[in-house]
Amino acid sequence: MADSESRMPRHIVRLLLIFAIGGAIALIARILFQDKSYGRYGIYRGDAVAEIAADEPMYQGPGYCQSCHAERHAEWTAGIHKVVVCETCHGAAAKHPSAKAAVTVDLAGKSTRVRIAGERLEHIKLAIPADSVKLCTLCHEKMPGRPAAQKQIEVSSHAGGQQCIVCHNPHSPKIGAAGAQKAGKPGDAAAGRKKAAACAACHGAEGVSGNPEWPSLAGQQRGYLAGALLAYKSGARPDPMMSAQAKGLSEADIGDLAAFYSDASCKAAGSKSSAQLASAGKAKAAACASCHGAEGVSGNPAWPSLAGLQEAYLVNALKAYQSGARRNPMMAGLAKGLSEAEIGQLAAYYAGLKCK
């Protein structure tokens, strides 16, 4: 009886034997297969540390882009989108440009990527987002739960079917800020009246032009007038007649002239075209209202009012944006899609509107 109590039951012995065999197999497997670097730092493969460190990071950060895309980087840094880093929109730049077009060198102890001059550019291309509506609405489409601090828009009414980048520069999307700065110092309207004598032959004594192709200036936005004169002066807006006129103007002259004309009372040119043409234009003008005002009077001093301008002048201006003779990134995008007929309709509509 004592004997049978001291001996383990046979099924327990077999179980222990199975455990022992299992343990032995595990031990052999460990000796045969375990990486030598296991345990060097902790309970993981020590060599993995060096491998991960040698990996090129997927995301390089905006600083990386600066050396090769200085202009974009500067534009982005000055704008409101600097909270959105380059690679959020363009994708990870790990291999951009490729090793073929750039090398990593050690400069002052910091490893820096440098472009190889003359090397064929076989780099991995970064994507330029093809559909800006899809991209921008990710963050800006109106949603009930979205914090109001993140500016939101009703996509259909705000942009119509247009791409966001027609009007917004993705690298600095706030519209108007750039133009408003150009307005310069507020001028003196009385001094402007005297200086405007030189302009009267073409723009009328009180800024109301009698020529169908020459624009009236009376009642036009002050910032816009100043910006236009600066653009003629610098050559950014070349025109055979105005370039010569603006060349001799000082910044003070420009401020005074802009003050005089913007204060002058306007007189709508009126449209010679049919009411039908103008009403077709009214429907098309919905796309222009966000900048030129619902009734053609702009709410932004840097953007021109169109109400009551000369019909032929409006046609010429839109065609000039189309051909590139007159350059403005917003208007180029907007005018591109207009047909000759639509230009006529829009011009008829705006010419017939009451000015300010």
Residues 81-120, interacting with ligand HEC (CB under 6 A)? 81, 83-84, 86-90, 93, 96-97, 102, 113, 115
Instruction: Provide the minimum distance between the beta carbon of 154 and ligand HEC in the complex, in angstroms, as a whole number.
Output: 10
Among 290, 295, 312, 332, binds ligand HEC (CB under 6 A): 290
Query: Which of 37, 98, 137, 243 touches ligand HEC (CB under 6 A)?
Result: 137
**Binding residue for ligand HEC, selected from 208, 230, 242, 259, defined by CB under 6 A:** 242
> 92 — alpha (psi -120 to 50), left (phi > 0) or beta?
beta
The 10 Å CB-count burial string (b at 16+, else e) for 31-55 is eeeeeeeeeeeeeebeeeeeeeeee
Closest alpha carbon to 228 in 328, 300, 295: 328
d(CA 298, CA 290): 9
- For residue 288 the two structure tokens come to 């222009």
Residue 198 touching ligand HEC (CB under 6 A)? yes
Could you tell me which stretch among 40-48, 103-111, 270-278, 302-310 binds ligand HEC (CB under 6 A)? 302-310
Measured CA to CA in angstroms, residue 206 lies from 3, 69, 90, 199, 257 at distances of 129, 48, 52, 10, 12
Binding of ligand HEC at residue 348 (CB under 6 A)?
no
The piece of 24-32, 38-46, 47-55, 324-332 that touches ligand HEC (CB under 6 A) is 324-332
Residue ranges in 245-284 that form contacts with ligand HEC under rule CB under 6 A: 245, 257
State the nearest-atom distance from the C-beta of 270 to ligand HEC, in Å.
16
Binding to ligand HEC by residue 153, rule CB under 6 A?
A: yes
Residue 356 interacts with ligand HEC (CB under 6 A)? no
Query: How many Cα atoms occupy the beta-carbon half-sphere of 17 within 13 Å?
Result: 7
CB 95 within 8 A of CB 123: yes
Nearest to 140 by CA among 178, 107, 174: 174
Q: Is 74 within 8 Å of 65 (Cβ atoms)?
A: no
Residues 26-85 that bind ligand HEC (CB under 6 A): 60, 62, 64-65, 67-69, 72-73, 76, 80-81, 83-84
- The reply to whether 121 sits near ligand HEC by the rule CB under 6 A is yes
**Interface segment toward ligand HEC; rule CB under 6 A; list 21-29, 41-49, 182-190, 195-203:** 195-203
